[in-house]
Amino acid sequence: MKKLFLTYIIGLFLFTGCQKNEVDLLFDDLPEKRMNERMSELRTKLLDAPNGWKASLNTSGKGGYGFYLNFKPGMNVEMLSDLNATTGTQLSESTYRVIWAMNASLVFDTFNYITMLQEPSSSYGGTSPNGYQSDIEFEYIKSANDSIYLRGKKYMNDFILVKASAEEKSNFLAGKMNELRTSLISFFQNKFNNYIDIEGISNKVEINFNTLNKTYTAQYIDSDGSVKSFFGKFNFDANGLNSSVPIVINGKIFERATLIDGIIKMYDSTGKEYVVKQNLSPILPIENVYGYNKTYKNISTTTSALPAISITSEFTSVWNTVVSNFVNSGRSVRYFELKFEGARSMIFNLYYAAGATNYTASVTFDYNIENGIITLSNPTGHTSGNWNTRRAQIQPLETYLFNLGPAKIDWVPNNDGQVIGGFYSTTNPNNVFYGFLK
C-alpha cells in the first residue's frame, strides 16, 4: 500500500514535472526557428534573381526612384539608380546585410546610390536636414515568385523589387534607364498642356509630370463642374516610366508609361493604352482660374512686345501702332496690365517711360461677366491725367478697348506652353484682346 502510494506520488511528479514540454506553440515553431526561416527566406530570395532586380522606392520628401539591383554572394550588392547620369550608367558596389530587427530586414549598411536619398544633406538633391526623407533599412513584408515587397523602417515607404528579365538586365547595363530619363525630361520641357482621354469622362484629363520631384498629377472637370485632382509618384526604369504611387481614376490604375518614337503612352493595369496628347492651351477651363479672387487676376505683357500666339488678332496691329507712336514721340512703352480691382471694376494700366522716368497711364472700366462673356463699360471720364496727355499716342488702343463689346474669356493657343488668355469679341471671333495671365 505504501509502495503503491509512493509510485503514485512518483508518477505524479513525473507527469506534472514534464507537463510543460507539451505546451502548444502558438505560432507553429520556436521563435528562433521562425526568425531563421524568415531571414533565410529573404536571403535566398535576394540571390535568386539571375538577371538582378528592377526596384522602385518611394520617398517622403520627393517622388519615386528607380534602381537596378544585383545581390551577390558575399553580401555585396551592385546598383544603378535613376538619380542622375552617373548613377544611371556606372554600377556601384557596396555591402548589405539581412538582419533581424523585429522582422527580417534588409539593410544597405555602407554607402551606395540608395544612401544618397537617405543622406541628410542637400548634396544629392534632397533638402537638409533630412535629404529625400528615405530609408536604407527595409522590413521584409512579403514576396511572390518574381517579386519582393519591402517597407522602409522609418518613413514606411514601399520598396518593391521585381525580377528583371535578361533583356531588361542588358538594357539597364547599357544605360537605357538614364537614356529614357533624359529623353523623358526633355520631352516634358518641350511638350505642354498634356492630357489623355479616359472612357466615361467627357472632359480632357490633364496630366502633368514633374521630372524634378518625380511626381505627377492628373485633373479634370467632372460632369458636376467640380475639379477632380489626383497625385502620384513615379520613377524611371529601363522600359520608361513606372508609377511607384499610381494614380487611380475611375478604378483605372495607371501603372506605367513609355516614350516610343516621340509619343508617350500611359498604360493602366489591364494593359489598355492612353496616348498622351498636347493641347495648344491649358486643359482646365479658363473660368476656373481667371477672375477676381482667382489664381490669375491680370492680363499683361512683360515687355512692349505681345506674346507669340498661334492665331491672328486685330489687337496685335493696334498695340504695335501704339508702341511705335510712343517711340515717335521720344518715349517708350514698357508693358501693359489689365487687372481686376474689385467685383465690378477693372483697371487698364499702360506703363511707359520718358528718359529715365517711368509713368503710368490708366483707364478704369466697370465690368460684368455672365456665362463666360465679359462686357467692359463706363470708361469715359475715368481716364487718368497721363492717359489724357498721351491720348495722341494712345488713341488707337482707346478706340479698340472702348469698342470691344461683349467678349468671351478663353485661353489663347500658343506653341510655347505659355499661359495666355484673352477676350474674344462675340461679333468677330478673329478679334481678341490677349496677354499673359498673371
Partner 1 sequence: MMVFTAAVAVTSCNKKDDILDVNLEEYNYDDFEAKAIDEYIYNNLTKPYNIEVVYRFDRSHTDVSKNISPPDINKIEPAVNMVRDGFLKIYEKVGGPTFIKTYTPKQFVLFGSHAYNSNGSVTLGTADGGRRVVLYDINNINASNSDNIKRRLRTIHHEFTHIVNQVVAIPPSFRIVTTDYVPDWLASSNTDAEALSLGFISPYSRSSFGEDFAETVAHLLVEGQAFYDKRIAASTPEGAAKLRAKQAIVEEYYKQYFNINFKELQYETYLALSQIYNDQSQTLYGALTSNSVNTITLDLDNASHYVTYGISPTFKKAWDDAKVGLAAYGNNGGRYPTNIVMVYKNQAEFQLQVTYRNPSNPTAIFYAYYDYSIQNIDGETKFTFVPSTSTETAYGNGRTIQAAIKPLLDYFTLYTFKAQWVSPDIVGIGNAMKFAGYYESGNEENNFYGPVTLK
- Asked whether 334 and 355 are in contact (CB, 8 A), the reply is no
| 17 burial level (CB within 10 Å; 0-12, 13-18, 19+) | exposed
Look-up: residue for cell 511705335?
324
* DSSP assignment of 247-280: EEETTEEEEEEEEETTEEEEEETT--EEE-EE-S
Q: Which is nearer to partner 1, 99 or 327 (CB)?
A: 99
**74 counts as binding partner 1 under rule CB under 8 A:** yes
**24 counts as binding partner 1 under rule CB under 8 A:** no
**103 counts as binding partner 1 under rule CB under 8 A:** no
**121 counts as binding partner 1 under rule CB under 8 A:** yes
Q: Which residues contact 269 (CB under 8 A, 6 or more apart)?
A: 252, 253, 255
- Single residue of 41, 43, 230, 258 touching partner 1 by CB under 8 A: 43
Q: Which is nearer to partner 1, 110 or 165 (CB)?
A: 110
Tell me the C-alpha distance between 45 and 66, whole Å: 20
Q: Which is nearer to partner 1, 88 or 131 (CB)?
A: 131
Q: Which is nearer to partner 1, 80 or 397 (CB)?
A: 80
Q: Which is nearer to partner 1, 2 or 142 (CB)?
A: 2
| Closest approach of partner 1 to the CB of residue 158, in Å | 19
The strand pairing partners of 424, in sequence order, are 408, 432
Tell me the C-alpha distance between 410 and 299, whole Å: 12
Which among 405, 399, 394, 327 is positioned nearest to 361, based on CA atoms?
394
Stretch that binds partner 1, among 34-42, 142-150, 208-216, 273-281 (CB under 8 A): 34-42
**305 counts as binding partner 1 under rule CB under 8 A:** no
| Closest approach of partner 1 to the CB of residue 88, in Å | 19
- Single residue of 39, 141, 201, 280 touching partner 1 by CB under 8 A: 39
**139 counts as binding partner 1 under rule CB under 8 A:** no
Tell me the C-alpha distance between 83 and 116, whole Å: 9
Q: Which is nearer to partner 1, 100 or 231 (CB)?
A: 100
Region of residue 293 (left: phi > 0; alpha: psi -120 to 50; beta: else): left
Tell me the C-alpha distance between 235 and 256, whole Å: 9
Q: Which is nearer to partner 1, 122 or 226 (CB)?
A: 122
Q: Are strands 147-152 and 158-163 parallel, antiparallel or unpaired?
A: antiparallel
**156 counts as binding partner 1 under rule CB under 8 A:** no
Binding site for partner 1 (CB under 8 A): 6, 9-10, 13-14, 17-18, 20-21, 30, 32-33, 35-36, 39, 43, 74-75, 94-95, 97-101, 107-111, 115, 118-121, 128-131, 133, 136-137, 154
